Chains A and B, each alone.
Chain A
Amino acid sequence: MQQKRSSNKSKGSLALIMVMLAALLASACSSGGNGEGSASAKPEQGSGSPSAGASQSASDDPYANAPRKISISMFDRGQVSSDEGTYEDNRWVRWIREQSGIDVTIVPVPRNQSQDSLNVLFASGQAPDLVWEFDRAYIGKLVTQGVIQPIGDYIEKYSTSYKKYLEENPDLLPHMTFNGEIYAVTTKRPITSIANHGMWIRQDWLDELNLQRPTTVEELVEVAKAFKERYPDSTPIVGHTTGDIYSAMFGAMNFLWYLEDGKMQYGATLDRFADVVALEKQVYELGLVDREYLTDSNNQRAAQLWTTGKAGIYLGQWGNGANDIMIQDMLANDPNAKPEPLEMVASQYGKYGAYQEASPNILVAFNKEMKNPKAAIEYLDWLIDKGWYPLAYGEEGVHYKLEGGVPKRLDDDKFNKEVLYAGEYAVVRDQVVKAEDLIAMAADDELSQRIAALKVESLKLTLKNEFRRDIPYQPSFDEINEIRATLDKFIRETRATAVTQGAKYTGEWALGEIRKEWDRLGGAKAQEIAQQWYEENKGSF
């Protein structure tokens, strides 16, 4: 008897352990499996919201009774300080929920791994309802993978404000269209974000040597040589967009398609690309650039050389963000330094601008699995109507005051801490900025005003020359994506070899190697497809 009871008892405890384990696993699975579950605890804003589509009658609206709830991705740039909260929950997210009347859940993805993080979210069925990227090619990949849906009908049926915006800006349509259908929503960039790469030079160094600003590639090299002679310890040319700026000078960015006599050609296979590599090699061998640029993957050395006054020319961004901070640092280190924007120099092929963005800003795509596309459209409508403005500039009277229609920043530090991170919540915005506004927008202190004045000049110089972009947007097809998976790496390595490994390797050699690799990977076929795409689409350019 005793024996039997003991075995029963142990069976019972074993069963108990099993049950507990099962419960543990089940709960772990459900909390991991459903990212939106946690948001349901938030109070529903209900139907009383101002932007609800009043004209929709319940009968032809399948989403009339669906909860007005959406989730949207966000780039985590690590800008939310701990007392502000997190990317998921902070004053602006609460404000968005309150003002839009839609229960919005933010799903942050790390900026530097945004695409692979989103891919993993899609693969595990946890991707947010709205997914956005700056990179049109990535949206193209999502279309190929079949995880996002066409949204032309939704815009037609449910949108008011965005529909109107699109009617006023029909040139955006081709950028939103994939395989003949609209897959993403976007708005136009203000000029401050069209301009991207830019060059800076130490005017005080030029003055000291009695030199003019360089206007051609040759003059640029001569000026750099003169800098090196005058300041032997310096590194004349540093930067973090150096390779792209050299490419832009010759109108041959390795990853863009170009039109040569009506024929589509891939940037890295152009004759001009040999000149790009040759220039890179020349400045390297003359000791005009940092010889360790290859291991400076986070551009720390470059920034350090520039801000401590050990570099004469910086190839980076036209302004804003990190650039403003670098100039602030430089002026703090050496109040007599005179960093000034430098216009792009001309090559033998012409004078092209540094890299500029195409007109569309953030592209917002709709997850195929989303529950309530109508709420998503309403959210975007609300954003473009009025929601974006405070997200971009902050609260009136606290972060800015209006001066002649321009929001003037009151306190840089306060803005950087409390508002800066919110900018990208406004995925669509009806924003127009004029170069002169930058001065009015900047805070009143002397340094802010000085930097703002430099930025106005920089912006004008940057936009003066058009970045060579032969077609308004790039074709996206599997063959080229596949080639690029191998070729991009090959180009980088060949470029590095040609630059650093001595006289045997020239620009011509690099181009020859790249062309060989291009052919081997099936470049001819890709070229054919690109050509066909061009013929089909050139009417809409």
Chain B
Amino acid sequence: MVTNSTSLGKPPSGTRGAREGRAPTLWKQISRNRFLYALLIPVAIYLILFKYAPMAGEIIAFKNYRLSEGIWGSSWVGFEQFEKLFASRDFYIVLRNTLLLNLYHLVFAFPVPIVLAILLNEVRAEWYKRTLQNLLYIPHFISWVVLGSIVIALLSPSTGVVNTVLKAFGMEPIYFMADKFWWPVSFIVSGIWKEAGFGTILYLAAMSSIDPTLYEAAKIDGASKRRQIWHVTLPGMRSTIAILLILQVGKMMDVGFEQVYTLRNDAVTSVAEVISTFVYTRGLVSLQYSYTTALGLFQSLIALILIVSVNRIIKAMGERGLW
């Protein structure tokens, strides 16, 4: 019955649809694939209910939100929250820290899974590769609360492994977690430790789709392993790298709450306070909901601009981009 209806629906869609504008074609398409669309409904409802509907709450950024008056009842204040935000010094410190940590992440952490994936791809012994992969994935499944205390213990100046090694080489122990220079380093490295292994999955998938004949051809042409990687593997991963890069830039204004919250301490607040922790302490704890919503809205706006422009650039470079 289904095939029946689709075959009947086909002929007009090409000719009549073009003449009468897009609407009928779209409708036809939907009615043709109605079951697929029906399957989509739960997801659509989920997105509308939990991702789009809450956006209406963003209006409190333009209000002075009080718990008793609710979202609608609170008084409008226009751009007052934003003015307060841009006038506060905290805002620039928090913004700077957020951007810096993300920049370090982009420069140092983003390439690691790519390199790791290439290395894994070149491992010949299957059992060794499997074991290695599993070991690399494990930290991803441990929460930051646990990893955070492990990191702090590892880097402890008196009892930590890292400093024991430093001392063995006759160096002074370093209090990594309380030093404004070393804290961001520890932050990024611990981030790599947790996520780099898991990040290889997508790249490995991209590599497995590379046509093996390309490698054979390269080999026949006398290309060394390094040349093969450069001319075959990397181009084969290009589009995946591009997509992940766009997504990463989209997160430029966002540093995960848990990692910062578990790793920071009083000595490094000036480099460790980021938007997410700031929103938590100011908004949820100190009840300045409107103020922090204004910050959140600003953050989303910048992220949107960033993601759109990077998408443009990537497309201009001949990749497919996100949309």
Q: A residues engaging B (CB < 8 A)? A: 2-3, 6-7, 10, 13-14, 17-18, 21, 25, 115-116, 119-120, 122-123, 141-142, 144-147, 291-292, 294-295, 297, 368, 481-482, 485-486, 489, 492-493, 495-497, 500, 520
Contact = CB atoms under 8 A, between A and B. Distances in A.
B51 to A, nearest CB: 15
A493 B8 CA distance: 73
B67 A291 contact: no
A146 B68 contact: yes
B69, B89, B284, B288: residue with the most chain A Cβ atoms closer than 10 Å? B284
22 contacts: A2-B1, A3-B5, A18-B41, A21-B41, A21-B42, A25-B49, A116-B280, A119-B285, A120-B284, A145-B66, A147-B67, A292-B157, A292-B178, A294-B175, A294-B265, A295-B156, A482-B288, A485-B288, A489-B269, A492-B269, A493-B266, A493-B270
A21 B280 CA distance: 34
A14 B67 contact: no
A99 B38 CA distance: 55
Given A295-B156, A295-B265, A493-B269, A25 B45 contact: yes
Interface of B: 1-2, 4-5, 8, 34-35, 38, 41-42, 45, 49, 66-69, 88-90, 152, 156-158, 175, 177-178, 265-267, 269-270, 273, 280-282, 284-289
Given A115-B285, A295-B177, A485-B286, A3 B266 contact: no
Contacts of A7: 5
B39 to A, nearest CB: 9
A2 B4 CA distance: 10
A399 B163 CA distance: 51
A493 B90 CA distance: 14
A485 B281 contact: yes
B37 to A, nearest CB: 9
Contact of A14 (B2, B34, B175, B269): B34
Contacts of B41: 17-18, 21
B273 A489 contact: yes
Contact of A496 (B42, B45, B178, B286): B178
A520 B90 CA distance: 12
Contacts of A520: 89
A489 B89 CA distance: 13
Nearest to A142: B67
A482 B90 CA distance: 13
Contacts of B282: 485
B70 to A, nearest CB: 8
B158 A291 contact: yes
A486 B69 CA distance: 26
B266 A368 contact: no
A501 B273 CA distance: 20
Chief secondary structure at chain B's binding surface: helix
Nearest to B39: A17
A292 B34 contact: no
B34 A294 contact: no
Contacts of A492: 266, 269
Chief secondary structure at chain A's binding surface: helix
B266 A147 contact: no
Contacts of A6: 1-2, 4-5
10 cross-chain pairs, A with B, having the tightest CB-CB distances, nearest first: A146-B68, A496-B267, A145-B67, A496-B266, A492-B266, A6-B1, A116-B284, A493-B269, A294-B265, A147-B67
B34 to A, nearest CB: 6
Contacts of B8: 3
Contacts of B38: 13-14, 17
Nearest to A489: B269
A304 to B, nearest CB: 11
Contacts of A368: 68
Contact of B267 (A17, A147, A489, A497): A497
Contact of B287 (A2, A119, A291, A489): A119
Contacts of A18: 41
A116 B89 CA distance: 25
A238 B89 CA distance: 35
A489 to B, nearest CB: 6
A295 B160 CA distance: 13
A474 B67 CA distance: 23
A292 B286 contact: no
Contacts of A294: 175, 177-178, 265-267
B36 to A, nearest CB: 12
Given A3-B4, A291-B158, A486-B88, 15 more contacts: A10-B34, A13-B38, A21-B41, A25-B45, A119-B67, A142-B67, A144-B66, A147-B68, A292-B158, A294-B177, A294-B267, A295-B152, A489-B273, A492-B269, A493-B267
Contacts of A119: 67, 284-285, 287
Given A3-B5, A495-B266, A291 B175 contact: yes
B5 A292 contact: no
Contact of B45 (A3, A21, A482, A486): A21
B68, B90, B158, B175: residue with the most chain A Cβ atoms closer than 10 Å? B68
A380 to B, nearest CB: 23
A481 B177 CA distance: 30
A122 B287 CA distance: 11
B158 to A, nearest CB: 6
A492 B266 CA distance: 6
A234 to B, nearest CB: 13
Contact of A116 (B1, B34, B267, B285): B285
Contacts of A147: 67-68
A322 to B, nearest CB: 19
A3 to B, nearest CB: 6
